[in-house]
Amino acid sequence: MASKTSAVLWFRRDLRLGDHAALHAAAGRADSVLALFVLDDELLKPSGAPRTAFLYGCLRMLSKDLDGRLLIVRGDPATVVPEVAEAAGASSVHVSIDTGPYGHKRDDEVATALAERDVELVGTGSPYAVTPGRVTKSGGEPYRVFTPFYRAWKDHGYPAPAATQRSTVEWTDPAAMPSRLPTVSIPDAPDTGSTVLPEPGEKAASQLWRTFLDGPLSDYHRDRDRPDRDGTTHMSPYLHWGCVHPRTLLADLDARRGAGAESLRSEIAWRDFHADVLWHWPEAARANFDRRFDAMEHDSGEQADALFDAWREGRTGYPIVDAGMRQLIAEGWMHNRVRMVVASFLVKDLHLPWWRGARHFMRHLVDGDLASNQLNWQWVAGSGTDAAPYFRIFNPTTQGEKFDPDGDYVRRYVPELRSLQGKTVHQRWKLGNDAPKDYPQPVVAHADERRISLERYNAISGN
DNA sequence: TTTTGAGTTGTTCGA
DNA sequence: GTCGAACAACTCAAA
């Protein structure tokens, strides 16, 4: 009888057991599979407390689903993954492909280190419906514009969800592993202050998705823009850590008709698009995608820092902006429409560089995702793909009146304005002496700042 | 190579 | 209050 073979399944942004291509690959190749997660300080560094706490929660749920058979080690993956593979007697380490700038480099190093021990690093699937790099123009060039990408993405197609095989997988018991491995237990969640996080894990993701399908989906195309309504999926943190795979969601959407399903499908494609762009242009995580914007004049110094603090803390005197910034701190999440409004305010009204805002978002968002975050910020700033026309500058007051027409969203997050009725929360100038005294005056005048932004844009565009 | 149509999410102004 | 036009020019993608 042949000896038993084993493989390692190294979890990263795929913290689930259902519809897991790398798990299938591992189970198809070996008799037993060791589940591994590596606490990589390098990866966790830019992640703020909310995202780290959510990650630890997801790890706890995953470990529970594995009956505790999840090995957690701390260290540099290029060192510890080969150690674990050797200790497990594995001939292959299986992963979902990571196409991010850091993950890609890390996996190259790990693959090299593994190869020295005759262990293969096998990448199967990715956290995207279509793995970045696969959708190209007919000449093989990557897309820079969403709409043609979206058409090609739909033509390319995405695989159907794979059936769950968890019962047929024999999981290796990490308790039987040598003690010299740098194993740790899941750390206590970092203090997230007053931030209330979503329920972590695969089951929570699945339940939330079912609830969305049965309710808000049919009106998603309308309600997704309304921060005062609960019309969005709230799936972003789960998608980020892979508690659910996007193709699982797409399969449900494809089984339904309607504008809501089509609208959400396109949002999922946006997520794929930004990952694809970052795969082809990794420097877009830090630098302007359109390098002409390198010459854009930004404000700096004490005054600018004070305005940045006002923005961060939600005391700009623009209610929809302040509500959004306070929601970010309260929930580690902000409604998408409001993300655009506060981003536009930072860039076009305060004249601060987009990356200052992007960094703040990454520190506080539970769903903080490098590709989506950085490229959406660049979109607002005008330096990204599909850049907004120069004249598309959000008016924070108009946006508030339009998308929070009854003022419910603002009142939820800005207690100083709770005494105001209806949409008057957006129109304090109408109140005269009745305006709340404990809410700040606008830190800048939008009309003036809009003009300045247009002038600065003209200065770099050669007009 | 040239041409053509189009490009997530908006605002303001004047009739 | 509502509505349509104006707001630059350029790049991208595909025929």
Q: On chain C, which bases lie within 7 A of the protein's CB atoms? A: 7-14
Determine the distance between A340 (CA) and B4 (C1') in angstroms: 32
Could you tell me where the DSSP H helices lie in A281-349?
302-312, 319-331, 336-344
DSSP string spanning A366-380? TT--HHHHHHHHHHH
Nucleotide nearest A450, from its CA to each C1': B11
Residues facing residue A93 across a β-bridge:
A8, A121
CATH code, residues A291-461: 1.10.579.10
Topology of the domain covering A129-161+202-280: 1.25.40
Q: How far is the CA of A348 from the C1' of B8 (A)?
A: 19
**pLDDT attached to residue A449:** 95
Which nucleotide lies nearest residue A387, CA to C1'? B7
Q: How many CA atoms lie within 13 A of A20 on its CB side?
A: 29
Q: A101 CA to B7 C1', in Å?
A: 28
Give the C-alpha distances (Å, rounded to integers) separating A420 from A201, A229, A319, A416.
39, 19, 12, 9
Residues lining strand B, beta carbon within 7 angstroms: A 145-147, 225, 267, 270, 336-337, 340, 376, 379, 386, 388-389, 391-395, 398-399, 402, 446-447, 450
- Sign of the Cα torsion A386, A387, A389, A392 reads positive
Of all residues in chain A, what percent carry a pLDDT higher than 70? 98
DSSP summary character for residue A299 = -
Helix (H) or strand (E) holding A434: none
Torsion A49-A417-A380-A134 (CA) sign: positive
CA at A83, C1' at C4: how many angstroms apart?
69
pTM, entire model: 0.96
Which residues have CB atoms below 7 Å from chain C, the nucleic strand? A 137-138, 141, 143-145, 148-149, 151-152, 389-391, 461-463
* C1' of C12 to CA of A134 (Å): 19
Residue ranges of the domains in chain A? 1-126, 129-161+202-280, 291-461
Which nucleotide in the DNA or RNA is closest to residue A270, CA to C1'? Answer: B8
Distance A276 CA to B7 C1' (A): 19
Q: pLDDT tens for residues A282-327?
A: 999 999 999 999 999 999 999 999 999 999 999 999 999 999 999 9
How many other C-beta atoms lie within 10 A of the C-beta of residue A159? Answer: 14
* Structure confidence at residue A1 (pLDDT): 45
Of all helices (H) and strands (E), which one includes residue A189?
A: none
Closest nucleotide to A149 by C1' from CA: C13
Distance A258 CA to B3 C1' (A): 36
Angle in degrees, CA A156, A162, A168, rounded to 5:
155
- End-to-end Cα, chain A, rounded Å: 78
Run means of pLDDT, 10 residues per run, chain A, 463 residues: 84 96 95 97 86 97 97 97 96 98 97 98 97 94 95 94 74 89 91 91 98 96 94 97 97 94 96 97 95 94 98 97 97 97 96 97 96 96 83 93 96 96 89 85 95 92 68
Q: Answer whether A99's CB lies under 8 Å from A2's CB.
A: no
Q: How confident is the model at residue A42, as a pLDDT?
A: 87
| Residue nearest C13 (alpha carbon to C1') | A148
The domain made up of A1-126 has a fold known as Rossmann fold (3.40.50)
The whole-number pLDDT of residue A180 equals 85
Residue A428, token pair as written in the block: 């304090």
Q: To which H or E segment does residue A448 belong?
A: helix A446-461
d(CA A261, CA A251): 11
Nucleotides of B under 7 A from a protein CB: 6-12
